[in-house]
Amino acid sequence: MIKVTNLTKQFGHKKAVNDLSFTVKKGEVLGFLGPNGAGKSTTMRVVTGFLPPTSGEVRICGLSMVDQPEEAKKKIGYLPESAPLYDGMSVRGFLRFCADMRGLSGSAKAEAVDRAIETCFLQTVYRQAIDTLSKGYRHRTCLAQALLHDPEVLVLDEPTDGLDPNQKHEVRNLIKRLGKDKVILFSTHILEEVEAACTRAVIVDQGCIVADGTPDELKAQSGSDSLYDLFRKVTTTDTAPAKASADA
């Protein structure tokens, strides 16, 4: 379970995340929606322990990310936004290294790497150097490292970004399949993804949650049965401050 309580993350004077609270339970796939710069990635970085919170608390399966970071991090598989990888390594070499980092060894490590290669459809490229891979394969390689240790919690930051329609379809199906017995938090700004893969969604704007519910509840809130309309209604566009100053 992911339990985030009154989470605030401040960079200098700017509050990227402002008093955010939410819970994701086992079997739930929570879609984290919001415009660019809403604080989605910052929230995910705090939830995964990469950034410390300015205030508030993050608990992963009951473990505090601040007090027991190493134990809490063991429970999480994380796909960062840009799917970063070590370019000089082969796909399998990279996954082996990540398995080492996850404390796997011997046959458990070999099995985990083979399973992740199979789950993410990397059979044709696993010997290839990462810097020769297409964007879709790079993304799936990074997703594979998140699944290696069969984590209870998956945090995926824009997992379908930059993928072609076929790959998006595969990844959404994978998320749905994994979501049955895991806790999944994934961010996106593609609205159809919410209906395709989420059991619940929150819309974040300027670091705050502005809407929360199942996809159907959210559509009902919009008044026109459209997530698009609700998204437009509750979020601020990044051109709004410029427009306001121009009007003034």
Partner 1 sequence: MRNTWSIFKRELGSYFSHPIAYAIIIVFILISLGLTFSFGQFMRSGDASLDGPFFFWHPWIYMLLAPAVGMRMWSDEQRSGTIELLGTFPLSPWAAILGKFLAAATVWLIAVGLTFPVWITANILGDPDNLTIFSGYLGSYLVCLTFLAITMLVSAFTRDQVVCLIVAVSICVFMVLCSYDDVIRELSNVAADWIVEPIVSIGVWDHFRSLMRGSFRVLDFVWFVSLISACLLGTSAILSAKRA
> Which residues lie near partner 1 (CB under 8 A)?
45, 48-52, 69-71, 73-74, 76, 78, 80-82, 84-89, 93, 97-98, 100-103, 145
Q: How far is the CB of 101 from partner 1 (least distance, A)?
A: 4
Q: How far is the CB of 50 from partner 1 (least distance, A)?
A: 4
Q: How far is the CB of 17 from partner 1 (least distance, A)?
A: 14
Residue 73 or 233 having the CB closest to partner 1:
73
Q: Please answer whether residues 89 and 130 qualify as being in contact, where contact means their C-beta atoms are separated by less than 8 angstroms.
A: yes
Strand, coil or helix: what is 130? helix
Residue 99 or 191 having the CB closest to partner 1:
99
For residue 192, give every residue at least 6 positions away whose Cβ sits within 8 Å of its Cβ, in sequence order, or none: none
Q: Among 63, 25, 71, which residue's Cα sits nearest to residue 181?
A: 25
Q: Alpha-carbon distance 59 to 126, whole Å?
A: 35
Residue 65 or 191 having the CB closest to partner 1:
65
- Quick one: which H or E segment has residue 210? strand 208-213
CA distances from 165 to 96, 152, 159, 171 (A): 29, 28, 13, 10
Q: Alpha-carbon distance 82 to 119, whole Å?
A: 20
Q: How far is the CB of 138 from partner 1 (least distance, A)?
A: 11
Residue 15 or 74 having the CB closest to partner 1:
74
Q: How far is the CB of 94 from partner 1 (least distance, A)?
A: 9
Residue 68 or 226 having the CB closest to partner 1:
68
